[in-house]
Structure formats: structure tokens, C-alpha cells
Structure 1
């Protein structure tokens, strides 16, 4: 394990600004907003990115102790915020796609009474890509080994979003002796076969709604899972294209109206949006970030979670059925629907998430009120 600091070379920044200054923007197609990223908002983000004081942002990121460790043969980048209290509970906070570790830091900073670990998944940002088929099981085994073998935490709490939601479930289900509890805002979906066996009308309605929107809303995943290198070639060469691809999902999946994309910044500031784009651009990791979609293959059946669980459904899945959560999380301590916060819950409502994590840890006897 070695310390790590982000240090983007000057010539990379100069090249980026030059590319951004030559961006050729197109007007919006008819029938906005269904056609994708708003040209006006994208143009505003591009201008801000061109003028971004990256050195100040880089210095802020480097205030967080970062390391790279060899975990199961892969160089894994992570932030490790240690509590001043040695006996504090350990907490694993994972990101998904298209966000990076950086978008989870506001939550991590609100939890000084935890030892918080915020990794970059393999192939994301400053973590090396996995040399093999990167299934959810591989990611779960890697994150478990990071926490236990590399960092020495015998037991810990786990939280994941998007791609890492299933990873978090898998860690809790596969390593119950190591996991003290799991908090889920993206609760268990199950395989298509599992869903077909549901007899709860609310559950069927929820999954029917997802299936109905899966065509246009899931187009990104289909491309990333079938022609990832073709798409990545364009995004790795065009910062404007990269920003549009990432920014569209931040707009679409956050708890803000897609018809007014600038309102995203009420949840995730422009500086944080551009930090995400900058990490992908400078690490050239957009191609390898598609690996979970391309390598996932057949849906994996995840065993039920027996460890204590708290489920707080984010607004993007507001109608998620409680019956599914109760059948999967066998020791469900709480189930609620969050009044605010979308797909990027940790970034959108970090204080609300910190409060929930602290309450859950207190209930489990890991913290004292």
C-alpha cells in the first residue's frame, strides 16, 4: 500500500482547455428533453470547465488521505478517513456509474465518528482495471479484501449506489461474519426469474414500470454493454462529449426536474459535476468504467442478506415495494421512503444520509448517542 496524490500534468490541462475552446455545439433536437443533454446547459458547463481552477480543486481532493493498494492483483485507489476514536466502526462507501469516489466525499466528511473508506471501483478513476471478467462477484470479493486483509477491519458497515448496490448486497450476503450491517438506498432488485415469481401487485407494478421505461432510459446501458469501445473512443477524445454523456445522467437521475437541467446544481454543485468529468478525462478511464456493463454477462443470483439492514428508498425508485425488501433483507431493521434525494443519494443529500448511517450504527450498538 502506498500514499497517492492527484497531480495532473500542466500539458494535460492545456490540451483540455484547447479542446474545450474548439467545441462545436449542436442545437437541440425537437421534443426536448427526451433527446438527451440540453445544448444550452452543456454549453454553460463547457465554459465553466474551460475556466475551472483545477489546481484548487486538486488541492481539495488531496486533503483527503488517498492510497493505492494491490488487492487481488489489482491496484485499488481509495480514500481512508480515520476517526480520532480508535474503536469507531468502519464503513465502506462505494460509488456507481457515472460517478466516482469524489462524489461520495461530502458524505464521508460528515462522519468523523466512523473509519470511512471510499474506494474507486476497478477501472474507475485512479484504480487499475481488473485483468479478467469484472463481475459483481469479483468487485465484491475485491472490496471485502480491501477492508479486511488490506486495512485490517474485521467487521464493517457497507453502502453502495448504482453498480455497487448489488456489490454491497453481495458483500453482506457472502461475508456475513465481516459485515455488521448494510444500508441500502438502491435496494435489491433480483433477477428476471426472481421478479417473475413475485405475487405482490405493488412489486409487479414497480418492475413493470421499470421495464416500460427501459428502452429509452436504458439506451446508455445497452451501448455500454454491447459496443463499449466504439463509444469510449469518442468520449475519450472529446471532453465535451464526455461531459454530455456523464452530465445527462446526473441531470436525469437526480431528484430534480429534467426539464430544467440547471436545477441539478441545487443538489450537486457545478464544481462537483466538473470534478467528476475531470477525473474521467485525466485518468482516461471512461472505457474501463463500462466494464461492469460489458463484463456482467448473465444476471447473478445474490443470496439473501441475513445481517442487519436498513433500507431508505431514494426518490428515483420511490415506488419500490416494501415486500421485496422484507423478503430479501432477512433482518430488516427499518424501511422508509426518503423525502428528498435521487439516484446519487450520498451526494445529493449527504447530511440526511449521515444521519441515517449514524442512527443505524447507534441501533446496532456501534455508536452511543
Structure 2
């Protein structure tokens, strides 16, 4: 394990020139007749590509580099992360994890709103500036262990709060369940789903209805995951060669999964500004990490069997895409559930979409626990 080294993002002039050349040469295709609804259209993709061409990356790069970033060897693997310490002793510490298709950068709006916290925002192995594990799968168990080692051994925190979304939701649960002595509390906007066998045991009709709804939409809405799990390299070959294709693949999910009105893809920008969408695409493009970001899908990241129940204090905030998630399921898994609330706003990318609301709730939850322990 190495001491963290300062890290700065830098895209070379040659790479920027190559990117612009490729974007200018984009061959746009008209929308298919009678196509199924999706979060991407030819018109919106044209807007995004034009904006990417016009983006002042040097200015954006400087904005990102204003956050203290580091690279450290954790369990023999290199890990990139943002680490910003609060300017007071005794501040709560929060681990903020991302999922797919976002990166650490999409979580930085939350960092800005929690200056009274010690904040750690890692790039998962294989995403952005963290190389993939050299050997073995990018599994949820392994990710949980890497995150815990980063927090406790590399950065030296005796305890911390944890938050995760999407790919990191199960990692979030595993961290809290596995190391309860070092986890002060867990914040979840993607609450525990459980295995199919586990879901069959719930007696609450609301739980049955919720999981039936999720299953019904998985077919038409889950095609991306099936492709990433079964033909990852073929897909990555196309996305790694075409910035417009990469942008379409990423932005479609940002549109579909955010809490925005259906019909107009640009509505996503009411929640996630266009510059932030382009930043996500730029990080994947520059680091050539789209292929390795698929690894949790095709390597079978799901932890076999049931994740042990979480015994540490928990705050569950139900985002709009899971508005009907039953409280009974949360109480069955999070055994010390202190907060259960259904959010009025915010979708899949909750920390990015409603950072003010989430920062306030996280602060209230953490402070209530600190008062109880005083």
C-alpha cells in the first residue's frame, strides 16, 4: 500500500484535436420509423455533439482539478479518488460511490454542498482514472473490500458513513453489513432488492407488486445490461472508436433514468447540466474505460446468496424511479432503520440530480447520530 499521490487530469492537445476531428465527421442516422421510445434522438444527439465540439475542455479540466484528487495503491491495485477534508476536527466522514454510466465527476455537486464533512469520492476500478483490477473479477465483494481498505487503512479513518448508487448500491450494503464496527451509518437511495429467492419470501402485497413491476420493465429497459453482459467487447469496439456513439450510449441512460418529464430528451438538463453530461463522456473517452466499465456486468458482480442484513443505523431515501419501494422490505434488511422517506424529486442519479436535498438529509442523519453518541 502506497501513500496517496496528487493526481491531475490532463487531456493532451493531440487527443483533443483527434476528438474534434472525429466529432466533425459524425455520420448521424435518422430516427427509425415506429421506433420504441428511448432517451436518445437524432436531434438531441446533434445538439450534444455540437456542444462537445464547442466545450472549453481546458476550463472544465481546471474546474475538476480544483478538487483534490489522488492515486494510491490499495490492496496492490491503483485507485483514483477525490479526498477533501473538512476544516474542523471531529467532522463526519462520508464515502460517496458512483455507478454506471456515471463517474466520480457526477457526484461532485454533492461534495460542494457538504463542506462540513470529510468527503471521499473514488473512481471504481475500471471506471475513469482507476485502472481495472489486474487479476480477477470486478465483483461486489471485492469492490466493497477495496473501498473499506481505502477508507480505513489508506486514509486512516476510524469510522465513516457510506453512500452508493446503481452498481455501488450492493457494495454500499456489503460495506455496512461486513464492517459494522467501522461504519457509522449507511445512506441508501437504491435500497436493498435482494435475490429472487429472497423476494419470494416477502408476505407484504406491496413488495410483490413492486418486484412484479420491476420485472415487467426489465425486458424492454434492460437491453443495455444484457448486451454489456454478453457481448461487451464488441459493443466497446464501436463505442471506443466513435465519440458520438459513446455519447449516445451514455446520455440515453442519463435521460431515461433521471427524474425528468418524458418526451423531450433535453429535459434531463433540468437535473444534470449539459456540461456535466459531456464531462462524463469525456472521462470515458479519454481513459478508454468504457470496456472495463462493463466488467461488473459480464463477470457476474452479483454476490451469490443473500447479503447479510445491515445492523448499523440506516437512512433510506426512495428516489422517484422506485417510488413504490415498500417500507417493509427496507425494515427487513436495514435492522436499525432511522429514516425512511420517499423523495418528491430525484431519480436514479439522486446525488447528482438533487444535491441540495440530499446534502441536507445526509447532514441531518449524520448529526443526529453524532448527538446520540455524544
Contact 1:154 1:178 in 2 (8 A): yes
Which residue in the other structure is 1:319 paired with? 324
How many residue pairs match? The answer is 368
- Judged with a 3 Å threshold, the aligned counterparts in structure 2 of structure 1 residues 276 and 298 are, in CA distance, closer, same or farther, namely closer
CA shift digits 1:258-292 (9 cap, x unpaired): 31111100000000000000000000000000111
Pick from 329, 343, 348 the counterpart of residue 343 of structure 1: 348
In the alignment, structure 1 residue 295 sits paired with structure 2 residue 288: no
TM-score by length of 1: 0.98
Contact 1:89 1:366 in 2 (8 A): no
Report the 3-state secondary structure (helix = DSSP H, G, I; strand = E; otherwise coil) of the residue aligned with 1:365: helix
Which residue in the other structure is 2:247 paired with? 243
* Offset at residue 32 of structure 1 (A): 5.0
Kindly report which structure 2 residues correspond to 1:1-369, keeping only aligned pairs within 5 A, or say none. 1-31=4-34, 34-35=37-38, 37-131=40-134, 132-296=136-300, 299-300=303-304, 301-365=306-370
Unmatched segments (≥5 aa) in structure 1: none
In structure 1, distance between residues paired with 2:159 and 2:101 = 28
Contact 2:99 2:165 in 1 (8 A): yes
Report the 3-state secondary structure (helix = DSSP H, G, I; strand = E; otherwise coil) of the residue aligned with 1:237: coil
* Offset at residue 196 of structure 1 (A): 1.3
CA shift digits 1:89-119 (9 cap, x unpaired): 1100000000000000010111111100000
* Offset at residue 31 of structure 1 (A): 3.4
- Judged with a 3 Å threshold, the aligned counterparts in structure 2 of structure 1 residues 179 and 145 are, in CA distance, closer, same or farther, namely same
TM-score by length of 2: 0.96
In structure 1, distance between residues paired with 2:5 and 2:184 = 28
- Judged with a 3 Å threshold, the aligned counterparts in structure 2 of structure 1 residues 73 and 366 are, in CA distance, closer, same or farther, namely farther
In structure 1, distance between residues paired with 2:215 and 2:33 = 25
* Offset at residue 16 of structure 1 (A): 0.3
Aligned CA-pair RMSD: 1.3
In structure 1, distance between residues paired with 2:350 and 2:222 = 20
- Please identify runs of 4+ aligned residues in structure 1 that moved more than 4 A: none
Report the 3-state secondary structure (helix = DSSP H, G, I; strand = E; otherwise coil) of the residue aligned with 1:11: helix
